[in-house]
Amino acid sequence: MPGAVPAAALALSALAVALAWPLPILLSRARWPARSPALALVLWQSIALAGGLSMIGALLGFGLLGFGANPLDGIRSLTGNLDAAAVPAPFVHVFALAAALLLAGHLLLNLAATFLRAEVQRRRHHHLVALLSEPLADRPGTRVIDSAAPVAYCLPGALTSATVLSRGLLTLLDADQLRAVVAHERAHLLQRHHLVLLAFKSWRSALPWFPIATRAETAVGLLVEMLADDQARRQVDDRTLAMAIALVGSAPGPTGSDDAPDATSFAWPDHPFDLLTPRLRRLVVATPRLAAHQSLGVLAAAAGLLALPTLLLLG
């Protein structure tokens, strides 16, 4: 019916606003993500993707209103008149359609450009690491750089990946603490955390006027660190891992994040947001995982957010 599309466009606009401001604020301030960082990461990705779909869908739904009684009719009418000399719709609807296409193109091109720039940086950094480091005995894929600062980060690559440690780190930590650091960085590589971080970096650079994008990128950065910590906890006890985080995070000098653009570092003491205290707190204070029904609720919310824009547009 004709009135369904305006209602859908309004609903999608309201959803886009909710996903751009209050919902991310609430999630970033919630305490439960520390209990299940993997589920929180899934929810953050759903919010980002559903937010983009809602913004595009709102413009698309309003634009198609000028071509038919519903989106499918609008698409058929629009494609059937592509060769027509005159556009059979008011300018405002044509403008909305053009804005939807431009926004979608902007987001996709920015995502591609972000990944391309990161790949160029990583290749250059791999080359520098190969020249300025040496392999660590008995640890394949681990390189040691001659730096007094305690540095630990992973450097992903399309064909080869590396875990980079510094001489200062090897001097600072004992054997168990070093094992925790290496396990942490291996987790980043195996779980492909750099891809998630790049996606949120792309979101922030594509929509720099959205302050929530910066908050989302920071929250996701903390979550992937917690996920890597959980993997390291399988190798060492919580106290050993917490001590390694505290030692590296409190040591003076540059960190891995400064030395390796787009790499994931073990500790970021100079980051504008406190990313160390939440990690230490969940290791020192017992934090039970979410109950089964709570986990199912989070997954259902994430799935619902992903499906809602499409359902509103076509409903």
Summarised one tens digit per residue, pLDDT across range 191-228 is 999 999 999 999 999 988 777 888 899 999 999 999 99
pTM of the predicted model, to two decimals? 0.90
Tens of pLDDT, residue by residue over 256-295, are: 443 444 456 787 665 656 789 999 999 999 889 999 999 9
pLDDT greater at residue 105 or residue 81: 105
Say what the pLDDT of residue 66 is: 84
Say what the pLDDT of residue 228 is: 97
Of the ranges 179-183, 229-233, 265-269, which one carries the lowest mean pLDDT score? Answer: 265-269
SS (H, E, C) the chain: CCCHHHHHHHHHHHHHHHHHCHHHHHHHHCCHHHHCHHHHHHHHHHHHHHHHHHHHHHHHHHHHCCCCCCHHHHHHHHHHCCCCCCCCCCHHHHHHHHHHHHHHHHHHHHHHHHHHHHHHHHHHHHHHHHHHEEECCCCCCEEEECCCCCCEEEECCCCCCEEEEEHHHHHHCCHHHHHHHHHHHHHHHHCCHHHHHHHHHHHHHHCCCCHHHHHHHHHHHHHHHHHHHHHHCCCCCHHHHHHHHHHHHHCCCCCHHHHCCCCEECCCCCCCCCCCHHHHHHHHCCCCCCCHHHHHHHHHHHHHHHHHHHHHHHC
> What confidence tier does 254 reach under pLDDT thresholds 50, 70, 90?
low
Say what the pLDDT of residue 3 is: 42
Whole-Å CA distances, 208 to 135, 200, 202, 217 = 40, 12, 10, 12
- Given a contact cutoff of 8 angstroms between Cβ atoms, the answer to whether 262 and 217 are in contact is no
pLDDT greater at residue 41 or residue 88: 41
Average pLDDT, stretch 17-43?
Answer: 95
Whole-Å CA distances, 105 to 81, 142, 259 = 23, 39, 33
Average pLDDT, stretch 17-33?
Answer: 94
CA 298 to chain centroid, in Å, comes to 17
> What confidence tier does 159 reach under pLDDT thresholds 50, 70, 90?
confident
- Facing residues of 152 across strands? 165
Average pLDDT, stretch 39-54?
Answer: 97
Give me the chain's average pLDDT, please. 88
Of the ranges 61-70, 136-145, 149-158, 201-210, which one carries the lowest mean pLDDT score? Answer: 61-70
pLDDT greater at residue 97 or residue 67: 97
Structure tokens given for 269? 């003491």
pLDDT at residue 48 tops 90: yes
**Quick one: CA dihedral 298, 304, 307, 310, positive or negative?**
negative
> What confidence tier does 255 reach under pLDDT thresholds 50, 70, 90?
very low
Percentage above 70 pLDDT, the chain: 89
Domain ranges of the chain: 1-89+289-315, 113-284
Average pLDDT, stretch 178-193?
Answer: 96
pLDDT at residue 68 tops 70: yes
